[in-house]
Amino acid sequence: MYWLTSEQLELLIKKLGEEYKIFGPRHDRVSGEVIFDHLTDLSELDLQAAIPYNPPKFILFPHLEEILKYRYEPETKQARIEQLNLLEPKALIGLRSCDLTGLLCLDRFFLGQEFVDEFYLAHRKKLFIISNTCLRPFPQCFCVCTDSGPAAKEGFDLDLTLAGRGYLVEAGSKKGQALIDEFKLPEAGPEASVLKKKIIDDSVSSFDRWALENKAWISRATNRLTTGFIKPEVWEYIGNQCFECGACSFVCPTCSCFNIEEANQESGETNRLRTWDSCSFEGYTKMAGDNNPRKPVEDRRNKRFFCKLSYSQSKKYLRPGCVGCGRCARVCPGDIGLPNVVTYIRREITGEAGE
């Protein structure tokens, strides 16, 4: 472990900016909300800002992306397909451990299954990640229940922990170590690991009581979802609360369903677009000829929680699909974010009355 001052960090990020496009948390100029965004002005980066309202998945999996371009001329019967170059070096600064875990889930899903998603791979190839330990949880957080925080364990190039006036830095890759060496950062003796552990312990112990209470129930919910022993009434209740807006999927660091559409341009070219999609939408499973195997909303709704918590899905991510960022709970107009769903499942198991 090494020590890094704020001034050195600034220089280090500037240095990264020479090679990478820099992304990080900043305050939106109009709303004041914290967003994870491309930083055109590095002074806007705020590592102490609250958890951003959007996860960084859009950097690797844009909400709307042109994946192919072609021109087809019916008269001459000529088809010319052009593959696009999506490779662009990007540095993600100040990633919270939940979001980093989400990114690792996406890696395992897009790159580690039967097929490799070539478009995701192009975005992923040149990425530099600097994670940032959360000194205390934000009101929505429950990463301690999903084993994804408050500090990063893997997947980073550099990991920062604010300790007093400086940062404790750890390298997670050769790229990260090279940067530490280049800046000749001073080593932070054996007491540094003790200090870092204390900082993380303090953070864990300041989690809201409800988050700690849910801890055991995430695994029980996983068990119930996997074995299918949840009564249809529970899904009906949850389904009735769903507005089918898809917001939960869009703010989720691990939701990655997409749609593909052709967009014909006036120039005669056609763009093949990949856009975010959500399993809560009615058209999600609708086939040509209007045959739809999933009709009722609860039928679709339980699919999302199945995807987040069931064992079969966890095998794809090598962990639960939920990273405890709490964003779904924050945006859901129907109050059926994942923590609440876990609560409903708990009530069903224990037979306790609702509020």
Partner 1 sequence: MDKNLVPITSVPEVATIVDIRDEINEVKSFYFTFDRPEIEQAFKIRSGQFIMCTVFKEGEFAVSLPFSPENDPKHLSVRRVGKVTAGLHQLEPGDKIGVRGPFGNGFPFEEIKGKNIIYVAGGIGLIPLRSSIVHVLQHRQDFGRVILVYGAKSSKELMYKESVKEWQATENFETHFTIDRSEPGWSGEVGFVNQLTAKLDLPEEETVAFVCGPPVMFNAVIKELKLKGIKEQNIYSTLERHMKCGIGKCQHCAIGRTLVCVDGPVYTYKQIRTLGEQI
Binding site for partner 1 (CB under 8 A): 67-68, 70, 72, 74, 77-79, 81, 83, 109-110, 113-119, 228, 256-262, 264, 270, 277, 279, 284-289, 293-294, 299, 303, 307, 310, 312-313
Q: Minimum distance from CB of 109 to partner 1 (Å)?
A: 8
Q: Are 239 and 270 in contact (CB under 8 A)?
A: no
Q: Are 199 and 39 in contact (CB under 8 A)?
A: no
Q: Minimum distance from CB of 322 to partner 1 (Å)?
A: 16
| Phi-psi region at 326: left, alpha or beta (left = phi > 0; alpha = psi -120 to 50) | left
Q: Are 27 and 33 in contact (CB under 8 A)?
A: yes
User: Which is it for strands 64-73 and 21-27: parallel, antiparallel or unpaired?
Assistant: unpaired
Q: Minimum distance from CB of 129 to partner 1 (Å)?
A: 22
Q: Between 164 and 228, whose beta carbon lies closer to partner 1? A: 228
Q: Minimum distance from CB of 234 to partner 1 (Å)?
A: 15
Q: Minimum distance from CB of 222 to partner 1 (Å)?
A: 13
Q: Minimum distance from CB of 82 to partner 1 (Å)?
A: 9
Backbone angles phi, psi at 108, to 5 degrees: -65, -35
Q: What's the rounded Cα separation, in Å, for the pair 164 and 58?
A: 33
Q: Are 249 and 276 in contact (CB under 8 A)?
A: yes
Q: What angle, rounded to 10 degrees, do the helices at 209-227 and 338-350 form?
A: 70
Nearest to 95 by CA among 178, 143, 36, 26: 36
Maximum pairwise Cα distance, the chain? 75
Q: Between 74 and 190, whose beta carbon lies closer to partner 1? A: 74
Q: Minimum distance from CB of 261 to partner 1 (Å)?
A: 7
Backbone angles phi, psi at 316, to 5 degrees: -75, -35
Nearest to 221 by CA among 102, 307, 328: 307
Q: Between 159 and 277, whose beta carbon lies closer to partner 1? A: 277
Instruction: Please tell me what DSSP assigns to residue 187.
Output: B
Q: Between 287 and 353, whose beta carbon lies closer to partner 1? A: 287
Q: What's the rounded Cα separation, in Å, for the pair 38 and 272?
A: 24
